[in-house]
Amino acid sequence: MGMFADLAFYLVAILILLAIVASAVKILREYERGVVFTLGRFTGVKGPGLILLVPYVQQMIRVDLRTRVLDVPSQDVISHDNVSVRVSAVIYFRVIDPEKSTIQVEDFMMATSQLAQTTLRSVLGKHDLDEMLAERDKLNLDIQEILDAQTDAWGIKVANVEIKHVDINESMIRAIARQAEAERERRAKIINAEGEQQAAAKLLEAAEILARQPEAMQLRYLSTLNVIAGEKTSTILFPFPMELGNLLPVKPK
């Protein structure tokens, strides 16, 4: 009976020793860092590799340094020109200072998400709808710079911000379509007017040349007769020089 008691004692002792060793030995991967606290006070950042801690005296919090992807939920935004839209975005960021991300903020993921939502509404509300649709790169950069500046105190680096969707209600889509159609008609009229202006200028130039060289007018007559003769028609019009009209006899009244 005593032998079984001793065996149980040794077994319990071994289990306790293993638990102490397990709490003292930590292994951190290449992309992990350990924020170490000794009796509640910050004493340093360790890793990667094998980390030895004093059991029950030191505690360690793991921090992942890899880039994280954060989806920003769709936000209702009123543009500068009073158009209601829903905008969603995605943010790429990572921890560059494990100490700050652990000590300065309770939950940096939640804090970054909430800050991204408010910043998205604030920045886009200063721009017109046309700018939201046509200048996304500039807006992405503006949001990224603001987020990066404000999250620096948390040890966060915002690498990139991408606006994913700008959803517009159906009535506004129809209005934009009408505006685009009107713009196309305006451009068509301008192009047509410019064509008419250029054609008139060329005709005036040709008339001046023909006026200076009467022989060129005769060649133009012959060219016109050649074109008419090639057409299948029973009527042929002969150009009549206006100068010959003065030679015709005038019937007395």
Mean pLDDT of 23-27: 86
For position 237, what pLDDT does the model report? 57
- The CATH number of the domain holding residue 131 is 3.30.479.30
CA distance 176 to 79: 15
List the 84-95 sheet strands across, edge first: 68-78, 84-95, 156-168
- Residue 128 located in a structural domain: yes
pLDDT tens-digit profile of 145-178?
A: 999 999 999 999 999 999 988 888 776 666 666 7
Which of residues 38, 63, 88 is at a domain's end?
Answer: 63
Q: Give yes or no: residues 74 and 59 share one domain.
A: no
- Residue 34 located in a structural domain: yes
CA distance 20 to 11: 14
Q: Give yes or no: residues 81 and 95 share one domain.
A: yes
Structural domain count, the chain: 2
Q: Give yes or no: residues 160 and 120 share one domain.
A: yes
CA distance 142 to 85: 19
Q: Give yes or no: residues 45 and 105 share one domain.
A: no
Q: Give yes or no: residues 74 and 150 share one domain.
A: yes
Q: Give yes or no: residues 83 and 44 share one domain.
A: no
For position 226, what pLDDT does the model report? 64
- Residue 52 located in a structural domain: yes
Q: Which residues contact 61 (CB under 8 A, 6 or more apart)?
A: 34, 35, 37, 102
Instruction: Indicate whether 244 pLDDT > 60.
Output: no
- Residue 136 located in a structural domain: yes
For position 251, what pLDDT does the model report? 55
Q: Give yes or no: residues 27 and 118 share one domain.
A: no
- Residue 215 located in a structural domain: no
Q: Give yes or no: residues 76 and 164 share one domain.
A: yes
For position 235, what pLDDT does the model report? 61
For position 83, what pLDDT does the model report? 83
Q: Give yes or no: residues 87 and 59 share one domain.
A: no
Q: Give yes or no: residues 39 and 103 share one domain.
A: no
Mean pLDDT of 230-239: 60
Instruction: Indicate whether 216 pLDDT > 70.
Output: no
For position 221, what pLDDT does the model report? 64
Identify the residue with better confidence: 250 or 195.
195
- Residue 47 located in a structural domain: yes
Q: Which domain holds residue 163?
A: 68-168
Instruction: Indicate whether 140 pLDDT > 90.
Output: yes
- Residue 197 located in a structural domain: no
- Residue 94 located in a structural domain: yes
For position 236, what pLDDT does the model report? 58
Q: Give yes or no: residues 52 and 109 share one domain.
A: no
CA distance 186 to 2: 105
